[in-house]
Structure 1
Amino acid sequence: MTFVTKLDFASGDRDVLAETVAELKTDLERKGTECKGPHASPAETVRVPQYKRLRPGDEFSPWSYDVYKRSMEIHGSDEIARDVVARDFPDSIHVEVEVDRKKPLGHRRD
């Protein structure tokens, strides 16, 4: 059975995100791990209302910022995937991890 580790990264700082993901990709390639990505998604603009008082009504113009996203997949090599997940990423990057088990083609269900 093969494990596929899916990593989703999101950040408001595009440069830190790009640098971190490129560094991770280089490390994975150096270790000989099969890796797909990073894949970029279009930036998402988030708008946050700002109220002049503690109750809704009088408002300042909304605060808006862009969120940049990248995704990667690590195939097999669950030990290296564990090392990646245990890494300390910058505080400005949100990381989500999903692990799937893939059965080989032709494998019967029991």
Structure 2
Amino acid sequence: MTFVTKLTFQSGDKAVLDRVVDNLKSLIEKKGAECRGPHADQPERTSVPQYRTLQPGDQFPAWNYTVYTRRLEIHGADQIARQVSERDYPDSVHIEIELEQKKPLGHRRN
């Protein structure tokens, strides 16, 4: 059975995000693993209201920011996926790791 490691990176700093993902992709490929991506999602614009007090009413202007998302997939190469998950990433980059088990065609459940 093959494992697919799905990595999702998010950040408000597009330049840092792209640098992290590009460096990671080249590292994975140098180690000989199959890497798909990076796939970019549409940037997500978020607006957060800011109140001057704990009671509704008087407000500061809303805080607006953009979140950028990139996704990578590592097929097989469990040891490389483990190394990627243990790396240190900048504080401005959020990473989510999902592991999916792929069964060969024709495989039956017991």
TM range (shorter): over 0.9
The ranges of structure 1 where at least 4 consecutive aligned residues each deviate by more than 6 angstroms after the TM superposition are: none
Structure 1 partner of 2:15:
15
Q: Which sections of structure 2, spanning at least 5 residues, go unmatched?
A: none
> TM-score, structure 2 length as denominator?
0.97
Provide Cα deviations, 1:50-75, integer angstroms capped at 9, x if missing partner.
11112221112211000000001000
Deviation string, structure 1 residues 11-49 (Cα, Å, up to 9, x no partner): 000000000000000001101100100000010011111
**Superposed displacement of residue 2, structure 1:** 0.3
Distance in 1 (alpha carbons) for counterparts of 2:55 and 2:5? 44
Give the length in aligned residue pairs: 110
> What runs of 5+ residues in structure 1 fail to find an aligned partner?
none
Tell me the TM-score normalized by structure 1: 0.97
What is the percent sequence identity of the aligned residues?
Answer: 59
Distance across 2 between alignment mates of 1:10 and 1:56: 31
